[in-house]
């Protein structure tokens, strides 16, 4: 096949016609070769080595990889593609508030517990509080990354590798930091987070530390460099979610590398070649993620040395993972949530949802594991 990396995440934001031609050639090449999509191995009966119970469930409408739940101040913020945004009580799953916007949603939700923000499919940044819309502003480009709401400001990373800060009260633009744009961009979640008094953003294959007051660049740390001979192979954007423990930020560069950066100094601690396309998560000892074929693995956080890997989840369309206590949770394309041991990847238990894909990473709300499915189901489990 002409395209060596999965191309469902590719968007040609500036030169649409050449990209359409590239995809068409790739499609015809795949068809002519008679290649079949690898099928996942049949899962054995579940071996439940830990007890869980379904605490609550809710419905918010069709979800997606760029609509991961966000947990802040005892609330689970969720959004559906059709335009519904809700704040759910993390203990009961009941609505604290719910609003229906008049625009489909492309990315979100970001919140500081009071103000929540999403990005619409027609490039509008929309801010809400207590179930009512506060303001909306037009963005110059598409975005697939949830806004970051912090310090009474809303920060946005658009797909053309631009970071913009807005006033949280009225939406006034405060500053913009641009980076050279490429003809192709990834239509999936990037990296945007706060580490101390620094705003950290993924810009191409680099993590950049920005001054949140004016957007000035404090440091840049290269995780991966562009390689290959065509636009697709040169894509090495940082993809979310990321794993942050104190000043250690570990990330995935799309289909190129996994690495950890010391965000207090702006230096690269280690990088290692890896072919995954979804984000990573971890704890103070290990970083977890999956390769493009679904091989799930762990790296030593301090050195990047491989710790373990498992093949039984290959070709299952895995989400990004969530490390929680002694287990790691990862969703798959059939709506299953796999809980594996953080120490060796052995199966601990398996959870079922509504049977639709889990594309966004699971999140932790108190002691509850929360996932959102493509069909819009929101499910929360607690340990027994």
pLDDT tens-digit readout, 247-303: 999 999 999 999 999 999 999 999 999 999 999 999 999 999 999 999 999 999 999
Dist CA 189 CA 294 (whole Å): 19
What percent of the chain clears pLDDT 90, i.e. is strictly above it?
Answer: 78
Give the separation between CA 127 and CA 116, rounded to whole angstroms.
6
* pLDDT tens digits along 86-105: 999 999 999 999 999 989 99
Q: Give the whole-angstrom CA distance, residue 82 versus residue 117.
A: 15
Please report the pLDDT score of residue 34 as a whole number.
Answer: 55
How far, rounded to the nearest angstrom, does the alpha carbon of residue 71 sit from its chain's CA centroid?
Answer: 14
Give the three-class secondary structure for 229: coil
- pLDDT per position as a tens digit, 119-130: 999 999 999 999
> Taking 70 as the threshold, does the pLDDT of residue 171 lie above it?
yes
Enumerate residues 6+ apart whose C-beta is below 8 A from 36: none
What are residue 300's DSSP bridge partners?
Answer: 286
What does the alpha-carbon distance between residue 366 and residue 347 come to, in Å, rounded to a whole number? 23
Q: Reduced to 3 DSSP states, what percent helix, strand and coil does the chain have, rounded to the nearest 5?
A: 5, 45, 50
User: Is pLDDT larger for residue 225 or for residue 365?
Assistant: 365
Name the phi and psi angles at 18, rounded to 5: -60, -40
Length in residues, the chain:
384
Cα separation, 307 vs 297, whole angstroms: 8
Mean pLDDT of 199-225: 95
For residue 379, give the nearest of 15, 34, 58, 163 by alpha carbon. 58
Tokens of 292: 């493009």
Q: What is the pLDDT of residue 228?
A: 67
Three-class SS of residue 25?
helix
- Arithmetic mean of pLDDT, 5-19: 38
Asked if 27 contacts 2 with a C-beta cutoff of 8 angstroms, the reply is: no
- The pLDDT score that the predictor gives to residue 48 is 82
Q: How far apart are the first and last CA of the chain?
A: 47
In tens, the pLDDT along 220-237 reads 999 998 776 666 667 789
pLDDT, residue 225, reads 85
pLDDT at position 46, please?
84
**Residue 384: predicted pLDDT:** 85
Q: What does the pLDDT read at residue 5?
A: 40
pTM of the model: 0.88
Question: With bands split at pLDDT 50, 70 and 90, how would you rate the model's confidence at 182?
Answer: low
pLDDT for res 353: 97
Of 40-44, 211-215, 241-245, the least confident? 40-44
- DSSP-derived letter for residue 315 is T
Please report which residue ranges of the chain form alpha helices under DSSP H. 16-33
pLDDT over threshold 60, residue 347: yes
Q: Which of 353, 283, 272 is nearest to 321 (CA)?
A: 283
Separation of alpha carbons 242 and 188, rounded Å: 13
Supply the mean pLDDT for the chain.
89
- pLDDT for position 181: 61
Give the per-residue pLDDT at 163.
97
Predicted confidence at residue 233, as pLDDT, reads 67
Q: How far apart are CA 74 and CA 103, in angstroms?
A: 27
Show contacts of 253-259: CB within 8 Å, 24+ apart. 253/205, 253/223, 253/224, 254/5, 254/9, 254/186, 255/5, 255/6, 255/292, 256/205, 256/224, 256/227, 257/205, 257/223, 257/224, 258/287, 258/289, 258/299, 258/304, 259/223, 259/224, 259/304
| pLDDT above 70: residue 346 | yes
Q: Give pLDDT, residue 179.
A: 75
Per domain, the residue ranges of the chain are 1-35
* Measured CA angle at 266 (ends 264, 269), to 5 deg: 95
Give the mean pLDDT of 13-40.
46
């Amino acid at each position: 096949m002409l395209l060596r990396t999965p191309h469902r995440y590719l968007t040609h934001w500036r030169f649409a016609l050449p990209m359409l031609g590239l995809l068409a050639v790739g499609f015809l090449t795949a068809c002519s070769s008679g290649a079949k999509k690898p099928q996942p191995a049949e899962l054995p009966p579940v071996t439940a080595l830990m007890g869980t119970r379904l605490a609550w469930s809710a419905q918010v409408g069709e979800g997606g990889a760029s609509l991961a739940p966000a947990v802040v101040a005892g609330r689970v913020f969720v959004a559906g593609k059709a335009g519904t945004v809700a704040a759910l009580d993390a203990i009961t799953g009941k609505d604290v508030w719910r609003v229906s916007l008049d625009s489909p949603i492309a990315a979100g939700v970001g919140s500081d517990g009071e103000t929540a923000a999403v990005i619409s499919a027609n490039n509008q940044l929309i801010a809400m509080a207590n179930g009512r819309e506060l303001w909306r502003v037009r963005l110059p480009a598409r975005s697939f990354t949830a806004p970051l709401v912090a310090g009474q400001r809303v920060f946005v990373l658009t797909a053309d590798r631009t970071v913009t800060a807005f006033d949280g009260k009225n939406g006034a633009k405060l500053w913009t930091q641009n980076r050279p744009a490429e003809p192709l961009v990834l239509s999936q979640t990037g990296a945007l987070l706060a580490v101390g008094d620094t705003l950290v953003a993924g810009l191409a294959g680099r993590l950049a530390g920005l001054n949140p007051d004016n957007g000035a660049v404090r440091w840049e740390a290269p995780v991966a460099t562009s390689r290959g001979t065509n636009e697709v192979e040169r894509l090495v954007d940082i993809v979310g979610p990321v794993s942050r423990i104190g000043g250690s930020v570990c990330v995935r560069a799309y289909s190129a590398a996994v690495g950890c950066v010391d965000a207090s100094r702006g230096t690269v601690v280690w990088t290692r070649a890896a072919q995954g396309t979804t984000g990573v998560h971890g704890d103070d000892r290990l970083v977890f993620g999956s390769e493009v074929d679904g091989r799930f693995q762990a790296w030593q956080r301090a050195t990047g040395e491989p710790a373990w890997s498992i093949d039984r989840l290959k070709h299952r369309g895995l989400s990004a993972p969530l490390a929680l206590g002694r287990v790691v949770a990862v969703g798959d394309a059939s709506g299953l949530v796999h809980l594996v041991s953080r120490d060796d990847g052995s199966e601990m238990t398996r959870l079922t949802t509504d049977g639709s894909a889990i594309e966004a990473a699971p999140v932790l709300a108190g002691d509850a594991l929360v996932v959102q499915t493509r069909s819009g189901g929101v499910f929360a489990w607690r340990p027994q």
